Amino acid sequence: MNPHDEERPVLQCLAALFADYGDTLYDGSRREAVTALQHALQCAQLAEWAGAPPALVTAALLHDIGHFHEGLAADDRTDDGHELRALPWLGQHFGPAVTEPIRLHVAAKRYLVARDPGYREGLSPASIHSLALQGGPMSPAECAAFDAEPFGADALLLRRWDDAAKEPGRRTPSLAYYLVLAGEALPTDAPPRTAIAAFDAA
Ligand code: FE
């Protein structure tokens, strides 16, 4: 199934993306202990256990779909900007309560490394590797700017779940279950669905 060349409802596109890329373990220094799908489901599960609303559970589920593209982790030495890549497409379907925590989830790591002395110790080797590529700890001025972000607090929550969602073998609900929740996060006056080609163009 190719999700990139057909017009389909957004939830079907998301299912197709996970079908195509969910088995990915990433490569080289970005390798994690769980697949991309397991990571997404565990992250959504942690958000749900914390009582997060559907939009934030959806952000947790989808926060890494910017990784889902050809040439995944082809270069270990540059920041892949994955938190930004899917936003133009996601923003056509979901509101800022979904897209903003995703946009900020890498910045949230840089913020927490600067503000929480024990935070760095809990990061996976892959996250520590990418931290340097992403700019390292935030400066005080960058932290102040992050504090002013309307969805900064949600991004910090997402970041904590992201970091904990790497446990091999943990049981979670299915992708279908979380896509139903994602459907609840869609605006009721959503415009007609557009092709996922915009995802590639981002
Ligand atoms: Fe992640």
DSSP symbols for 139-202: PHHHHHHHHT-TTHHHHHHHHHHHHH---TT-----HHHHHHHHHHHS-TTPPPP--THHHHH-
Q: Distance between CA 134 and CA 198 in Å, rounded?
A: 25
* DSSP character at residue 21: H
For the chain, give the percent of residues with pLDDT over 90: 64
Torsion sign across C-alpha atoms 84, 88, 94, 97: positive
Q: Encode pLDDT of 10-33 as tens digits.
A: 999 999 999 999 988 765 556 778
Q: How far is the CA of 161 from the centre of ligand 1 (A)?
A: 8
CA of 139 to the centre of ligand 1 (A): 23
Ligand 1 centroid–CA 163 distance in Å is 7
Judge whether 178 and 57 are in contact, CB under 8 Å: yes
pTM recorded for the entire structure? 0.85
Residue 127 pLDDT: 87
Lowest mean pLDDT among 59-68, 76-85, 112-121, 128-137: 76-85
Q: How far is the CA of 63 from the centre of ligand 1 (A)?
A: 6
What spacing in Å lies between the alpha carbon of 9 and ligand 1's midpoint?
24
Q: Each residue of 166-198: pLDDT tens digit?
A: 999 999 999 999 999 999 999 876 554 444 444
Helices 36-49 and 10-21, interaxial angle, to 10°?
130
Cα(105) to ligand 1 centroid in Å equals 8
